Amino acid sequence: MARRSDHSRDQLFELMVAAAQEIITEEGIEGLTARRLAAAVGYSPGSIYNVFRNLDGLIVAVNSRTLDRLVEAFSAIPMTGTPEPDLAALLDCYLAFEEQNPKLWSALFDYDLREGEDWPDWYLAKIGQLFAMAERVFVPIYGPQPTRQSRIAIQTFWAGLHGITSLARSGTLKTVASETPTTLARHLARTYLAGLLASASPEQ
Amino acid sequence: MARRSDHSRDQLFELMVAAAQEIITEEGIEGLTARRLAAAVGYSPGSIYNVFRNLDGLIVAVNSRTLDRLVEAFSAIPMTGTPEPDLAALLDCYLAFEEQNPKLWSALFDYDLREGEDWPDWYLAKIGQLFAMAERVFVPIYGPQPTRQSRIAIQTFWAGLHGITSLARSGTLKTVASETPTTLARHLARTYLAGLLASASPEQ
DNA sequence: AGAATGAAATGAACATCGTTCAATAAATAT
DNA sequence: ATATTTATTGAACGATGTTCATTTCATTCT
pLDDT digits (tens, 9 = 90+) for B3-16: 778 899 999 999 99
Q: How far is the CA of B61 from the C1' of C13 (A)?
A: 38
* DSSP letter, residue B79: P
pLDDT of residue A1: 56
Q: Higher model confidence: residue B63 or residue A150?
A: B63
| pTM exceeds 0.75, yes or no | yes
pLDDT of residue A202: 47
Q: Tell me: pLDDT of B204 over 70.
A: no
pLDDT of residue A6: 86
Average pLDDT, integer, range B141-150 = 91
Average pLDDT, integer, range A66-71 = 97
End-to-end CA distance of chain A: 75
From chain B, the residues in CB contact with A118 under 8 A are 171
Q: Tell me: pLDDT of A203 over 70.
A: no
pLDDT of residue A201: 59
Q: Tell me: pLDDT of A176 over 80.
A: no
Position B169: which residue type?
A: R
Q: Tell me: pLDDT of B87 over 70.
A: yes
Q: How far is the CA of B49 from the C1' of D4 (A)?
A: 24
Scanning every strand, the nucleotide with its C1' closest to B46's CA turns out to be D9
B151 neighbors B159 (Cβ within 8 angstroms): no
Interface test with B, best of A192, A197, A199, A203 (most B CBs within 10 A): A192
With a pLDDT cut of 70, the percent of chain A lying above it is 96
- Mean pLDDT estimate for chain A: 93
pLDDT of residue B176: 76
Q: How far is the CA of B201 from the C1' of C10 (A)?
A: 71
- Closest CA-bearing residue to C1' of D8: B2
pLDDT of residue A204: 41
Average pLDDT, integer, range A131-148 = 92
pLDDT of residue A171: 83
Closest-CA residue of chain A to B152: A184
With a pLDDT cut of 90, the percent of chain B lying above it is 83
Q: How far is the CA of A11 from the C1' of C8 (A)?
A: 14
Distance CA A163, CA B162 (A): 5
Q: Higher model confidence: residue B108 or residue A6?
A: B108
A47 neighbors A38 (Cβ within 8 angstroms): yes
Q: A42's torsion region: left (phi>0), alpha (psi -120 to 50) or beta? A: left
Q: Quick one: CA torsion of B5, B10, B12, B13, rounded to 10 degrees?
A: 160
Q: Tell me: pLDDT of B201 over 80.
A: no
Average pLDDT, integer, range A86-104 = 97
Question: Under an 8 A CB cutoff, do A179 and B124 touch?
Answer: no
End-to-end CA distance of chain B: 75
pLDDT of residue B5: 80
Scanning every strand, the nucleotide with its C1' closest to A49's CA turns out to be D18
Strand C, nucleotides covered by protein (CB < 7 Å)? 6-13, 16-28
Q: Select the residue of A112, A151, A196 nearest B191 (Cβ to Cβ).
A: A196
Strand D, nucleotides covered by protein (CB < 7 Å)? 6-12, 15-27
Closest-CA residue of chain A to B114: A30
Q: What is the largest CA-CA distance in chain B?
A: 77
